[in-house]
Homo-oligomer: A and B are copies of this chain.
Amino acid sequence: MTSVEQSPLTRKLSAFVALSDVELAVLERLHQRRRTFIAGRDMVHQGQSAQAAYILSAGWVCSYKLQADGTRQIVDFQVPGDFLGLRSVLLRTSDHSFEPIVDIEAAEVLTSDLLEAFARTPRLATSILWAASRDEAMVVEHLVGIGRRDADARMAHLLLELSSRLMLVGLGGKEGYDCPLTQYHLADALGLSAVHVNRVLRKLRESGLVTFRDGHVTFHDYGGLVKLAEFDAAYLDQTGPLLK
């Protein structure tokens, strides 16, 4: 299997651990059950217990929580190479919903498949748990952002985080990336109103920092954006002693 055919997840993990051929094979085997989901219809609904997790191979998803008053808070976005509902499977609980933002392709991973893979290749298990830990760090970082950054910095931070995550799987680079989110998605993720999201985007554009338009993010001043957001990618790249 050449590197061109690698799944995004494989690509992502390989950036952090040198996986052996056996481990790579087991990993690719997890991608057997290919499924597609259409945009806008929930894959897993709040409160429903999940039988399986998914590895996203193409498209974007958001995980969110609905409130009694109808507003929603997007907890995180998933891009190719990310797990969906990994914790739901490992811990058998699920308290938020997943909605495909566009039509997506994902590999279904049964709990039994996952546990079997873990048993065979402990290093792979570690890698996947690392990915789960990274997801958590992102949620915490979002909490910090919403709690302690103003709207401009929050937006800049989110756009930069997505950039970093996408670059890991070969989608986009420092000049920009394709992004199917609407301004409503951004609003629900950042704790802002859609109207204000629009204002913020205009300001960032007119400041010559970044343009978000027609499903594409274009960085005009990456460094300036990093400074505005005080973006430190450490929480995304924590290698640490985990993978010895």
- Which A residues lie at the B interface, using CB under 8 A? 47, 49, 65, 67-69, 71-73, 75, 87, 90-93, 95-96, 129-130, 132-133, 136-137, 139-144, 146-149, 190-191, 230, 232, 234-235, 238, 240-242
In the complex, the chain B residue whose C-beta lies closest to that of A129 is B91
List residues of chain B with CB within 8 A of the CB of A68: 230, 232
Q: A72 → chain B, closest Cβ, in Å?
A: 8
List residues of chain B with CB within 8 A of the CB of A141: 65
A contact patch SS: helix
List residues of chain B with CB within 8 A of the CB of A72: 148
List residues of chain B with CB within 8 A of the CB of A130: 91, 93
Is the CB–CB distance between B93 and A140 below 8 Å? no
Pick from B49, B133, B230: contact of A69, CB below 8 A: B230
List residues of chain B with CB within 8 A of the CB of A240: 49, 92-93
List residues of chain B with CB within 8 A of the CB of A67: 144, 148-149, 230
Is the CB–CB distance between A238 and B136 below 8 Å? no
**What separation, in Å, do the CA atoms of A242 and B93 have in the docked complex?**
7
List residues of chain B with CB within 8 A of the CB of A69: 230
Is the CB–CB distance between B133 and A87 below 8 Å? yes
**What separation, in Å, do the CA atoms of A67 and B148 have in the docked complex?**
8
**What separation, in Å, do the CA atoms of A203 and B174 have in the docked complex?**
48
